[in-house]
Amino acid sequence: MLRLVVLLTAVCAVFGDSFAKKYGFSKVMTNCFGEDNYYGWSKMVFKAVKECYGEETVLPMHGASDMEEESGDNYGNQPVFVILNAEGQEQKFPLRFAFAQRQKREALYDAPVLKKMVSKVKAKIGNFTCVMKKMNYVDEDFNIDYDYMKQEIQDLDLDDELKADLMEGIDICNDFTQCLPAGKSPMPQKLQKMLAFLKCNKKKRFTVCMKHDFKKHLDFFDTSAIQKEDEDDSEAAEKLIHVMWGLENNDDFQLY
Ligand SMILES: *[C@@H]1O[C@H](CO)[C@@H](O)[C@H](O)[C@H]1NC(C)=O
């Protein structure tokens, strides 16, 4: 138990203070998109969050198509363990069967507790997918609408180069999420894709904004040391960020 507490404390020390991180992120975004754009967008998200809170949870199903539902392989919204049988074909067991044989020892996480955990996670994911739908970022079938997101940026009152970079970011993250491994995850593929895309896009937005901020303040640097003659300010800003990143970063260069 003590070990668990120590471990949790260590984890919290690293990933904790997510409120401060979020606050910092939104300040960077406000600086980048302008207050009107960013607060306007945030308001739309909050409105969606509020609406979703009172709605039923609808989650993506397993399998790329929804054909499976009709083949009798339907566990509704239950999380499903996927186990390979001898022929390598997947067999699915609902959670309650997978744990059925392991009831002898007294469990730390008993069934009611686990059930509660499952429903909490379901509600969390349900709220996420609901907000994504209300924002029109995914369709009814949880397919990501990349064109809509690009149009949304296109319609903003922003510097053209910043817009172009942000839209390119969406394309890059689209490419990136196309090659997610089709592994045997209990999480439906469409949900994995949504999460991976969002993560990628948030990171991309951040770096694009950082680049444009560096570009604005390029006169703080004598870039002659790194800028070639045929390179514009954008490229110089991008190089500067990489130098700064490499200088500050230690974790990414450690093998353990
Ligand atoms: C959002 O979460 C709340 C509980 O936290 C839950 O009652 C509600 O059904 C969820 N909404 C959706 C759309 O999943």
Q: Which pLDDT tens digit goes with each residue over 88-102?
A: 445 555 666 666 665
Residue 227 lies in a domain: yes
Residue 206 lies in a domain: yes
pLDDT at residue 196 greater than cutoff 80: yes
CA–CA dist 219, 133 (Å, integer):
43
Q: Quick one: 223 and 187 in the same domain?
A: no
Q: Quick one: 249 and 197 in the same domain?
A: no
pLDDT digits (tens, 9 = 90+) for 112-133: 999 999 999 999 999 999 999 9
pTM: 0.76
pLDDT tier, 107 (very low <50, low <70, confident <90, very high otherwise): confident
Residue type (1 letter), 210: M
**Nearest to 127, CA basis, from 51, 217, 19:** 51
Q: Quick one: 193 and 225 in the same domain?
A: no
Query: Could you give the number of structural domains in the chain?
Result: 2
- DSSP secondary structure, 110-175, as one string: -HHHHHHHHHHHHHHHHHHHHHHHHTTSB-TT--B-HHHHHHHHHTS---HHHHHHHHHHHHHHHH
Q: Quick one: 212 and 144 in the same domain?
A: yes
Is the CB of 57 within 6 Å of ligand 1?
Answer: yes
Write out the residue range of the structural domain in which residue 226 sits.
Answer: 219-256
Residue type (1 letter), 185: S
Is the CB of 131 within 6 Å of ligand 1?
Answer: no
Distance 128 CA to ligand 1 centre (A): 9
Q: Quick one: 175 and 52 in the same domain?
A: yes
Q: Quick one: 138 and 208 in the same domain?
A: yes
pLDDT digits (tens, 9 = 90+) for 143-167: 999 999 999 999 999 999 999 999 9
Residue 136 lies in a domain: yes
Residue 243 lies in a domain: yes
Residue 115 lies in a domain: no
Mutation pick for ligand 1 pocket among 49, 51, 55 (CB with most ligand atoms within 8 Å): 55
Q: Quick one: 41 and 135 in the same domain?
A: yes
CA 57 to ligand 1: nearest atom: 14
For ligand 1, atom 2, the nearest C-alpha belongs to 123
Distance 170 CA to ligand 1 centre (A): 28
Other Cβ atoms less than 10 A from the Cβ of 227: the count is 18
Residue 67 lies in a domain: no
Provide the mean pLDDT of the chain. Answer: 84
